[in-house]
Chain A
C-alpha cells in the first residue's frame, strides 16, 4: 500500500505541475491580450492589432496544451484519490463542476471566435470575445484556487453524526479568506509569467535586430506589467498569504523557514540546509529577528518552531518544502529587482539600447515558471501530511484498490505523452516567434478553431 501511495502522489504531482506550466501563461496573457485589444480599439494603431494577433497565436497553442493536460486532473480525483473524493466530493465537487459550467462553456464558445474570427467580427465584437476569454480563464482560475484553498483551510462544510462531510455554506466555500489571498497571489504570479515571456520575446527581437518595432512594444509592455505584478506578488499578496499560513498552518510555516526550535525574536534564514535528523539548519545565513517581525510585526514576537508540534503534524518532506519556498521567495525578489532596473532605464529612454539588460530580460524567461512551480510546491508540500488540512490525512485519501503497478503504468504513459507534447509545444512556439508579428499578419489564415 505504501508503494501505491507514493505512485499516486507522484502521478498527481507530475501531471498537475506539468499542466500548470500552460495556464499560468494563458491567464496572464489573457489579461495582457485584453489590454492590448483595448489599446488597439482606443488608438486604432495597427501595431497593437498586429501584436495582439501574434500573441493570440501563442495563446492558442498554449491554451490547447492547457486543455488537453487539464482533463486528466479532474479524472484523477476519482481514479487515484477515490477515498478522498468519496469523503469530500460533496464539497469540492461544487467548485469543480462550476468551473466546467461557468468558465469552460464560456471559453469554448468564444475562444474560436477570438482566435480566428477577427475578419468576420466588428472590432468591438472581437474586443468583446477577448474580454469573454479573459473572464472565462480568470473565473476558471478562481474556482480551482477555491478548491485548493478548501483543502488548505477547510471552511463552509459540516460533519454529520455518521462522519459524512457535506457542504453547509456555499458562500463560506466560495469566499474562503484563504482563497481570496491565494487567488490574488496566484493571478499576479500568472501575470509575472506572461509579462516576463512578453519582455523576453521583445528582448530577443531587439537583440536579433529584427521586428524591432514590435520588440520595443513587447519589452515596454512586459516591463511595465512585470514591475506591477512582481510588486503585487510580494506585497500585499505574498505577505498576506504568509500570514494565512502562520495562523492556520503553523507547523508548515516553521518547516518553510527551517525553524526547528521555538524562539522569541526568530531569525529569518536566507540560506541554509535543513537537517531534519539533527533538527537544525546547517550553515545558515540568518537575519536576526526578521521572521518575528515579518510574521507578527513585532521584533520580539514568539514564533513556534517545529518542536512545538508533534512530529506527525510536520510536513513529511521538510527539505523539499524549505527549498521550494526559498526558491520562490528568492526568485520573486530578483524579479522585482530586474523589473525595477528595467523600468528605470525605460523611463530614461535607455532600455532598448542596453544590451546587457536585454540579455537579462531574455534569459529570465524560464524563471517565472520555476517560481510558480516552487510556489505551488510550497503550498502542496506544506499542506502535508494532510490532504484536507486537519480533516483527512494524505494516506487516507488514495484509491485502495488501484495497485502500484497500475499507477506506474499510467504514470509512465503520462511521462511519455507529455514529453512529446513538450517537444511539439516548443517547436510550434518557435515557429511563431521565428515568423514574428509582421510575418504573421499576412500569413495564411488558419483553417479552423
Chain B
C-alpha cells in the first residue's frame, strides 16, 4: 500500500512539474522571446487560462503527500524551512504578477509585473531543481527522522551540508534549462509570428544545453547517490525510466527538426516524466535518503500513514482524480489552438 501511494504521489508531482513546468518555463525565458509589451502580453495569454489549474497540482500533490506520508511531509517541510519560505514568496509574486498585470492599463505597471513574473519563474525553476538535488543527495537526518538545513555551507556535499552545494546547484541549472525548453516548446505550440520564431530558435539552443546538463547531472548523481547504481543492478528493468528520458530528448529533436510543435512539446513532457521517475526509482525504497549515515534515511513504508487510512484515501482519490481529469480535458479543449494577438476571449 505504501508503494502504491509512493507511485501515486510521484505521479502527482510529475504532473505538477510537467504542467506548471511549462508556464514557469515561459516566465523564465520571457525576456529572451518577448521584446515588446504586446509580445509579453502574448506570453501571459499563452498560459493565462491554465496556469492556475496547473499550480493546483502542487497543492493536491502536497495534500496527498501529507495524508499518505505524514512523517515525510513533517521532516522535509521543516528541514527545508528556509528555501520553502522563499518558494512561497516566489509563488505569491508569480501569482500576483499574472493576475494583476491586466488590471491597470499602464506601461510601467505592466513592465513591473512582467519583471516579477520573470524573476519569480526563473528562481522557482532553479529552486525546484535544487530541491530535487537535495532529495537525491540526501539530508543529515537525525535519529528522530528530522533535519534542518541552512541555505548553504561551503558548497561541498558536507558535512556540514546546505541546501545549495555544487551538486544541487548543477541540478538547479539543469532544471532551469529543462523547464526553459519546456516553456519554449509550449510557446511554439501556442503562438505564431515573431515570438513563435524566437521561441523555436531558443528551443533549438536550449535543447543542446539540456542534453549537456542531463549528461552532467546523470554522471554527478551516480557519484553522489550510490543507491541508484545498486537499484539498477538489482532491478535492470529500471533502465526503462532513463530510457524514457532519452526517448523524450530524441522526440524533441525530431519534433523541432520536422516543425511538429505538439510532438516536440509532448516529447518534452516525456523527458521530464522520465527524469523524475528515474529519480524516484533510483532512490527507492528511500523517499528521503540520509547523508552521511545512509541508515537513517526515510523509507516509504517507514513514513506511511496506517494502512486503513490509505485504503480510505484510495476511495476518494480515484473519483476525485477522474473528476479532475474531466475538468482538465475541458479546460485545455477550450484553450486549444493558437493564441492570437486579438485575444482568445473575443
Contacts and interface: CB of A to CB of B under 8 A. Distances in A.
Interface of A: 60-61, 64, 67-69, 71-72, 74-75, 77-80, 82-83, 85-94, 96-102, 104-106, 108-113, 116-117, 119-120, 160, 164, 166-168, 170, 399-403, 406, 409-410, 413, 417, 421, 424, 428, 431, 444-449
A446 B142 CA distance: 52
B254 interface: no
A68 B120 CA distance: 13
Given A61-B100, A105-B56, 10 more contacts: A71-B95, A85-B73, A97-B67, A100-B62, A102-B323, A112-B52, A112-B331, A170-B316, A401-B146, A448-B98
Interface of B: 41, 44-45, 48-49, 52-53, 55-56, 58-64, 66-71, 73-82, 84-85, 88-89, 91-92, 95-96, 98-100, 102-105, 146-148, 305-306, 308-309, 312-313, 315-317, 320-321, 323-324, 327-328, 330-331, 334, 343-346
Contact of B82 (A69, A106, A409, A421): A409
B96 A64 contact: yes
Nearest to B104: A431
Contacts of A60: 99
Nearest to B44: A448
A77 B89 contact: no
Q: Which of A82, A88, A91, A96 has the most CB of B within 10 A?
A: A82
Contact of A82 (B53, B78, B100, B315): B78
Contacts of A109: 53, 327-328, 330-331
Contact of B66 (A77, A102, A119, A403): A77
Nearest to B142: A401
Nearest to A63: B99
B305 A166 contact: yes
A104 B59 CA distance: 9
B66 A89 contact: yes
Nearest to B52: A108
24 contacts: A75-B62, A75-B77, A78-B78, A79-B81, A88-B70, A89-B69, A89-B305, A90-B70, A91-B309, A96-B67, A97-B317, A101-B317, A105-B328, A108-B331, A120-B345, A167-B308, A167-B309, A170-B315, A401-B79, A402-B78, A431-B104, A445-B346, A446-B103, A447-B44
B328 to A, nearest CB: 7
B77 A79 contact: yes
B92 A68 contact: yes
Given A78-B66, A79-B78, A106-B323, A449 B105 contact: no
Contacts of B331: 108-109, 112
Contact of A78 (B73, B95, B315): B73
Given A100-B62, A105-B327, A428-B103, A80 B52 contact: no
Contacts of A401: 78-79, 146-148
Contacts of B312: 94, 167, 170
B339 to A, nearest CB: 9
B333 to A, nearest CB: 11
Contacts of A428: 100, 103-104
Q: State the main secondary structure of chain A at its contact with B.
A: helix
B327 A78 contact: no
Contact of A399 (B52, B81, B104): B81
Given A64-B99, A109-B331, A112-B49, A168 B62 contact: no
B309 A94 contact: yes
B309 A166 contact: yes
A401 B148 CA distance: 6
Contacts of A83: 74
Q: Which of B74, B84, B317 has the most CB of A within 10 A?
A: B74
Given A64-B95, A75-B88, A108 B56 contact: yes
A67 B148 CA distance: 28
B153 to A, nearest CB: 16
Contacts of B63: 74, 93, 96-101
A328 to B, nearest CB: 29
Contacts of B48: 112, 447-449
Shortest Cβ-Cβ A-B pairs, 4 listed: A93-B67, A89-B70, A78-B77, A448-B48
